[in-house]
Amino acid sequence: QVQLVESGGGLVQAGGSLRLSCATSGLTFSRRALGWFRQAPGREREFVAAISWSGSSTYYADSVKGRFTISRDNAKNSLYLQMNSLKPEDTAVYYCAASVRAVARHEEDFGSWGQGTQVTVSS
């Protein structure tokens, strides 16, 4: 059974930082692209960042480029999202997701999802 469990969310002031983690089990972690998505209240879920199976390719939404960094540790079956210079508009529930593909960035390519972790950025 595939499981993805996010952690690291919380309340932070604008300009602050948070590091999200996603622990996975039940999947061939090292062969899958992974991603982070977010959903703010009243809005559709949106792409944040993705990383290829090897970690050699990363993709970011324009809104987070230069502030967020996605990384993975295949030895620990874990995914991370370092978020710096946070803004109130980054407030959302953040989800990690796993794809069956080695490289992916579109939501429809991700079939396994975590439950999400809340990130709240105060102004």
Average pLDDT, the chain: 95
At 110, which amino acid appears? F
In the chain, % of residues over pLDDT 70? 100
Question: Are the C-beta atoms of residues 27 and 114 closer than 8 Å to each other?
Answer: no
28-58 tens-digit pLDDT: 877 899 999 999 999 999 999 999 999 999 9
15-31 tens-digit pLDDT: 999 999 999 998 887 78
- Using the structure block, give the residue that is written with the tokens 């059974």: 1
Which band of pLDDT confidence, cut at 50, 70 and 90, is reported for residue 117?
very high
What's the CA gap between 71 and 14, in Å, rounded?
Answer: 23
